[in-house]
Structure 1
Amino acid sequence: MSRLPFYFIVGLLLVAGIAMSVHRHLQFEIPWVPNEQRQVWEIEAVITFDAQGGPVEVDLALPTQQAGYRILTENTASSGYGLAYQANETGRRAEWTIREADGEQQLYYSVQMLVSPEAQAPSQAAPELPPAVEWESPYDSAAEQLIDEAWERSANNATFARELIRDVNGERQDENARLLLGEMDPAPLVVRLLNQAEVKARGVSGLLLQDGRRRQTLSTWIQVFDENDETWSLFHPITGVQGKPDNLLLWETTGDAVLEVQGGTNSRVSFSMMTHYQPASAAVRNHNSNDTLLNFSIHSLPLEEQALFQTILLIPIGALVVVFLRVLVGIKTSGTFMPVLIALAFIQTSLTTGLIGFLLIVSVGLIIRNYLSYLNLLLVARVSAVIITVIAIISVFSVLAYRMGLNAGLTITFFPMIILAWTIERMSILWEEEGPKQVLIQGGGSLLTAVIAFLAMNNPWVRHITFNFLGVQFILMALILLLGNYTGYRLLELRRFKPITEEDKPS
């Protein structure tokens, strides 16, 4: 029979598992290792204005995802005000409204921004050039001369913007530049000159992030659109330096007003900021609150269910360990996957407490089961009696541990009672049929397998990978299928060939 379909399924599982895991890492920035830290900026905007006793509408521009930053959470504090978020292809804004307000007002908006080198700004279409505004004389000739001189020294839109900024603000500043600066500030002037030269440009507002700073204001930067590669380039409005500083957060990127207040005067907005570090898993969990099919995860579940699944998702790791030890190494166990359940109990109790509890329960259970064998009970009744016995043993040990001040002993209640009962039953039958040697071999093999499975399942890296990358389950399935296809000798069986090798040795 052809094995091609089998290997096709295995290959498909491997490719799917790896692809899903890599996709989650790259697209949603899930870290490969636990305890990785990410920098988060907490920024608070305070809006103050004087209300005039009537209806008030306050409109504030909000930051969006951009190169180097992602939004984690955002909150507002505005007692008595209605609040609505508006979003379109150009940006996001918050709108506060109230029927009547009088006197000084304060509104608060706070946002957590995750520093993310992989984050990219969403693509934006180039805006249309604004309607041309005619200069009055003699400003028209001064503007034309500045444009012509900078155009001659440039090769594209970016270099043209750089040269124009330097002509307006730099050492080459002449009488034409000084004349125009008497009418407009540097940044709006450069944007107007660029638009006059049919170069698409706009002024944007950015916040320079510095830890612990208070009452900061936004600064204006210049964005220029490059028609060749259809990208925006950012320029400092005074120095003409191209590029976005690492600590610059663009707050408003459409060229519109940052703050608009209707029904109030003396409006202003100031910013306070501080930075801290938090585990990457927590930061990503806040960021990925809306899972899609490709971002399928259990982070959207309540925390209680998440904790449950964090343990359940470790079972395939224990199953892989059992398959490896039984198929390749040849270790005998009492029950197929009983060691996995015992390993899960070890995770809850700790390894030392779990080992002591397991040995005590099984030992006492075997003694009581040996007595039950003289009663000639039916199998179902006998196993039921063993289950009740195991419950009684665990209860007695827990009470004794509590009375002796050994709180760790209380955790033996996490042992799977049904599995323990069947283990005692199987070992008792094995003792009667094949003797105590086989009981020690299979019991010791089960305990050794459970310890190895516990060490694998309790590893922080393994717990992190299995919980955050569900594609790993497909990889584990593929590995188990490959191991299940193995039909060769087990490692412990090779000792049977030792006499042959001794005979081949020269005397």
Structure 2
Amino acid sequence: MHSKKPFYILVALLFIAGIAASVYRGIEHNVPFLPGEQVQSWAVDAKVSFQGTGEPAEVTFSLPKDPAFEILAENATSPGYGLSATEDDTGRQVTWSTREAIGQQDLYYKVTLVPTGKNEIPADKEPDAPQAYNWPATEKAAAEQVMSEIWSRSATNLSFAQQLNKSFNATERSQNLELLLTSNSRAELFIHMLNSKGIPAKKVSGLFLEDQRRRQQLTNYVEVYHQGQWIIFNPNDGTQGRPDNLLIWDRTAKSTLDVVGGVNSQVNFSMLQDTRSALATSIDMLKNKNALDFSLYQLPLEEQSLFKGILLIPIGVLMVVFLRVIIGIKTSGTFMPVLIALAFIQTTLLTGLVGFLLIVAFGLMIRSYLSDLNLLLISRISAVIIVVIGIIGLFTLLSYKFGLSEGLTITFFPMIILAWTIERMSILWEEEGAKEVMVQGGGSLFVATLAYLAMSATWVQHWVFNFLGIHLVILATVLLMGQYTGYKLLELRRFRPLAGE
């Protein structure tokens, strides 16, 4: 007797692989697990303005690079300007250039962003130890006294930054700190003191996203390195951490906007919040990352529509196996109910049931006449196929004449399968009687109806197309049910008299 251990190992591997692939696709590729999910997106416009002096102009503008937001689309509008973009470890930049800029100049950059939920800012590598700031002679003693006092109240680099930020916003500040703040901005003084203690810190520019806001400016924050992370501080109000809806626009620690060949330069931001499909957003992200190489979404729309129907078949097959092997429902043909269920998806359930019953009823009447002619099997089947086509054509014309648009969908029924169904039922009628025909015919319609309800569920259609790993789970389930050799549930009624005794 062969061991079933390899079989159960195979089934377990199929289950694990299918579930793992589905979870990975949902988490890594941000594919929603349920249909109809929505995500919030932000459309941000940056307007760069300056006065041209009639000389060649070159405008360098930093672009956002924030792990908390995914860029779906971006473009720059610059009539008459050359455009180039660069990217390195520090950030992204775009450069506009022209041979002559005279008068008011307006350049535009537009970007669509989607929050990723990754609010932490990991460091790509450990930054180099910063150089100590060379304090002016008039500030050196005061700065050293302030740093020494705060250093004694801290235990780590992070706690030193926290205590320093707290002292900047205390109700009563020391005279030394007041002296330093008269000649330095809070962000600059914060960075100078941290660097003087060997703590990596840099200034970053952030944009606070608010719906339908215009003419917004960037706000300066400070990033402090601590244990592989960059922690955000705002010395202006004493807060720590990333505020809600904060977009880190520039992390280069340099000027966000540089204009050569122009004066009075400035940049203003406008923003608008929108809601979009989570699935469409995920597809756009995959396209941006060139990750659609082995996805069904890279196929033309016609082929995608075809596969959406094909990938529903395993769901119908699973229903048929369960209802026949475990429940014990008899059907006319093994997987004929699956094909009928596919037709129901096109015709709707009520129209499909009525059309199926009419076609089979008329077909059986014609088949009873053909049986009296003693035709060969191949000729008889061919005649039934032609008759079925004629019946479908007749019903379609009658539906059109009476204005029943639902009846026009009857053409989606599989004609060959209907012909074989009529042939099988006719033979069954002759051999087993009308009762068996009703049992198998009714069972087929019942199974087809349940398969249709499962296949037409929106979440099922979403899963089988977007999470292909689910088909491995279906295969494993079918294999397990194929090992079942016990009594079917409908067979247990034979033992009811024994249970009564």
Q: TM class, shorter-chain normalised?
A: over 0.9
Which deviates the most, 457-466 or 101-110? 101-110
Q: 1:103-125: per-residue Cα shift (whole Å, max 9, x none)? A: 32222222222233356545422
243, 248, 251: which one pairs with 1:245? Answer: 243
Cα 1:103–1:251 shift into 2, 3 Å:
same
| Matched residue type, 1:246 | D
Question: Residue in 2 aligned with 1:189?
Answer: 189
- How far did 1:292 drift? 7.8
Q: Contact 1:170/1:239 (CA < 8 Å) preserved in 2? A: no
Q: Contact 2:292/2:298 (CA < 8 Å) preserved in 1? A: no
2:478 maps to 1:480: yes
User: What CA distance in whole angstroms lies between the structure 2 residues aligned with 1:305 and 1:39?
Assistant: 30
Q: Contact 1:332/1:441 (CA < 8 Å) preserved in 2? A: yes
- How far did 1:380 drift? 3.0
409, 414, 417: which one pairs with 2:415? Answer: 417
User: What CA distance in whole angstroms lies between the structure 2 residues aligned with 1:52 and 1:383?
Assistant: 88
480, 490, 493: which one pairs with 2:491? Answer: 493
Q: Contact 1:289/1:300 (CA < 8 Å) preserved in 2? A: no
User: What CA distance in whole angstroms lies between the structure 1 residues aligned with 2:433 and 2:98?
Assistant: 86
Within a 5 Å distance, the mapping from 1:125-144 to structure 2 comes to 125-144=125-144
2:386 maps to 1:385: no
Within a 5 Å distance, the mapping from 1:3-82 to structure 2 comes to 3-67=4-68, 69-82=69-82
Secondary structure at the counterpart of residue 214 of structure 1? strand
| Matched residue type, 2:7 | F
Q: Contact 1:466/1:473 (CA < 8 Å) preserved in 2? A: yes
User: What CA distance in whole angstroms lies between the structure 2 residues aligned with 1:292 and 1:2?
Assistant: 46
Within a 5 Å distance, the mapping from 1:388-467 to structure 2 comes to 388-467=386-465
User: What CA distance in whole angstroms lies between the structure 1 residues aligned with 2:159 and 2:293?
Assistant: 42
Cα 1:129–1:318 shift into 2, 3 Å:
same
User: What CA distance in whole angstroms lies between the structure 1 residues aligned with 2:119 and 2:154?
Assistant: 31
Secondary structure at the counterpart of residue 47 of structure 1? strand
Q: 1:411-467: per-residue Cα shift (whole Å, max 9, x none)? A: 222222222222222222222332222221111111100000011111122222222
User: What CA distance in whole angstroms lies between the structure 2 residues aligned with 1:391 and 1:53?
Assistant: 79
Secondary structure at the counterpart of residue 14 of structure 2? helix
Q: 1:92-143: per-residue Cα shift (whole Å, max 9, x none)? A: 2233344444332222222222233356545422333455553332122232
Q: Which runs of 5+ in 2 are unaligned?
A: none
Which deviates the most, 38-47 or 14-23? 38-47
Which deviates the most, 244-253 or 96-105? 96-105
Identical-residue share of aligned pairs (%): 53
Q: Contact 2:67/2:118 (CA < 8 Å) preserved in 1? A: no
Cα 1:418–1:104 shift into 2, 3 Å:
farther
Secondary structure at the counterpart of residue 60 of structure 2? strand
User: What CA distance in whole angstroms lies between the structure 2 residues aligned with 1:83 and 1:361?
Assistant: 67
Secondary structure at the counterpart of residue 418 of structure 2? helix
User: What CA distance in whole angstroms lies between the structure 1 residues aligned with 2:120 and 2:373?
Assistant: 75
Question: Residue in 2 aligned with 1:213?
Answer: 213
Secondary structure at the counterpart of residue 2 of structure 1? coil
User: What CA distance in whole angstroms lies between the structure 2 residues aligned with 1:71 and 1:473?
Assistant: 32
User: What CA distance in whole angstroms lies between the structure 2 residues aligned with 1:290 and 1:212?
Assistant: 27
User: What CA distance in whole angstroms lies between the structure 2 residues aligned with 1:30 and 1:243?
Assistant: 29
User: What CA distance in whole angstroms lies between the structure 2 residues aligned with 1:388 and 1:492?
Assistant: 38
User: What CA distance in whole angstroms lies between the structure 1 residues aligned with 2:471 and 2:55?
Assistant: 61
Within a 5 Å distance, the mapping from 1:336-415 to structure 2 comes to 336-415=334-413
Secondary structure at the counterpart of residue 332 of structure 1? coil
Question: Residue in 2 aligned with 1:173?
Answer: 173
| Matched residue type, 1:85 | A
User: What CA distance in whole angstroms lies between the structure 2 residues aligned with 1:58 and 1:302?
Assistant: 41
Which deviates the most, 270-279 or 208-217? 270-279
Question: Residue in 2 aligned with 1:159?
Answer: 159
Secondary structure at the counterpart of residue 334 of structure 2? coil
Secondary structure at the counterpart of residue 171 of structure 1? coil
- How far did 1:477 drift? 0.4
- How far did 1:484 drift? 0.7
Cα 1:393–1:102 shift into 2, 3 Å:
farther
Secondary structure at the counterpart of residue 35 of structure 1? coil
User: What CA distance in whole angstroms lies between the structure 2 residues aligned with 1:273 and 1:142?
Assistant: 43
- How far did 1:164 drift? 2.5
User: What CA distance in whole angstroms lies between the structure 2 residues aligned with 1:95 and 1:431?
Assistant: 82
Secondary structure at the counterpart of residue 494 of structure 2? helix
Which deviates the most, 231-240 or 52-61? 52-61
User: What CA distance in whole angstroms lies between the structure 1 residues aligned with 2:118 and 2:194?
Assistant: 31
User: What CA distance in whole angstroms lies between the structure 2 residues aligned with 1:249 and 1:179?
Assistant: 33
Q: Contact 1:166/1:173 (CA < 8 Å) preserved in 2? A: no
Cα 1:349–1:237 shift into 2, 3 Å:
same
Give the CA RMSD over aligned residues. 2.4
Q: Which runs of 5+ in 1 are unaligned?
A: none
Q: Contact 2:214/2:269 (CA < 8 Å) preserved in 1? A: yes
Q: Contact 1:76/1:109 (CA < 8 Å) preserved in 2? A: yes
Which deviates the most, 356-365 or 442-451? 356-365
- How far did 1:500 drift? 4.1
Q: Contact 1:163/1:240 (CA < 8 Å) preserved in 2? A: no
Cα 1:386–1:55 shift into 2, 3 Å:
farther
Q: What TM-score do you get using the length of structure 1 for normalisation?
A: 0.91
User: What CA distance in whole angstroms lies between the structure 1 residues aligned with 2:137 and 2:118?
Assistant: 50
Cα 1:121–1:198 shift into 2, 3 Å:
closer
Within a 5 Å distance, the mapping from 1:94-113 to structure 2 comes to 94-113=94-113
Q: 1:340-381: per-residue Cα shift (whole Å, max 9, x none)? A: 111111111111111111111222222223333334333333
User: What CA distance in whole angstroms lies between the structure 2 residues aligned with 1:109 and 1:399?
Assistant: 58
User: What CA distance in whole angstroms lies between the structure 2 residues aligned with 1:315 and 1:381?
Assistant: 31
- How far did 1:470 drift? 1.2
Which deviates the most, 167-176 or 471-480? 167-176
Cα 1:304–1:101 shift into 2, 3 Å:
farther
Question: Residue in 1 aligned with 2:3?
Answer: 2
